[in-house]
Every structure is written in C-alpha cells, then in structure tokens.
Amino acid sequence: MTPEEIMKVVLFFLTLAGAGWGIWWKIDGRVSKGEEAAASRIAAAEAKADKALDELASQRIHVAEHYVSKAGLRETTDQIMEAISGVKAAVDNMTLRVDRIVEAQGRRTTTRG
C-alpha cells in the first residue's frame, strides 16, 4: 500500500469514527434530556404520593376521632340497654309500692255512719 492509500484508509476510519461519535453525542443528549424529564416527573409523582399519604393519615385520624367502631358501638349499646333494664325494674317496683300504698289506704278507711 502506498502512503496515499494508507492516508485514505486512515481518513475513512477517522470519518467513520467522527460520524459514530456525532451520532452517539446526539443519542446521549436525547437520553440526558429524557432522564431529566423523567427525574422531574418522578419528583412530581413523589410529591403527589407524599401529599396523598398525608391526606390519608389525616382522614384516618378524623375517622378515629369522629366515628365509632362496631365493637365500641356494641359495648355502648349494651351499657344503654342495661341502664334501661334498671329503669324498667325500678318502675316495676314503683308500681308495686303504689299498689301496696293504695291497698293499705283502703283498709284503714272506716265507714262513718
């Protein structure tokens, strides 16, 4: 090979390497832009997720403060029913006492004549 042919081959490979590097540079630039866009989207999604978690936590606290569980409602209902049963028993005893008082007053009255 003559020096001219060697120079042509070297220039050809340098041209191919330059074209390859240029293409790679463009691809790398687009990938970098894509990574930046993805990073900003990820940050926005993380912010939304954090906000959703905070709202969920506040909702759970609100529900725990303002609503009653089934077991708590059952316990409260049982206590109320026991209190009502106590009042019913007291009223039943009261009517028995009133009946005794009325019967006792009927015996004490005498006819005047």
How confident is the model over 31-59, as pLDDT tens digits? 999 999 999 999 999 999 999 999 999 99
pLDDT tens digit at each of 113 positions of the chain = 899 999 999 999 999 999 999 999 999 999 999 999 999 999 999 999 999 999 999 999 999 888 888 888 899 999 999 999 999 999 989 988 888 888 888 776 566 65
Query: 3-state class of 110 per DSSP?
Result: coil
How far lies 23's CA from each of 10, 14, 17, 20, in Å?
Answer: 20, 14, 10, 5
- Count H helices and E strands in the chain, helices first: 2, 0
**Pairwise CA distance, residues 72 & 64, whole Å:** 12
**Pairwise CA distance, residues 40 & 91, whole Å:** 74
Helix (H) or strand (E) holding 13: helix 3-66
Query: Residue 97: what pLDDT?
Result: 87
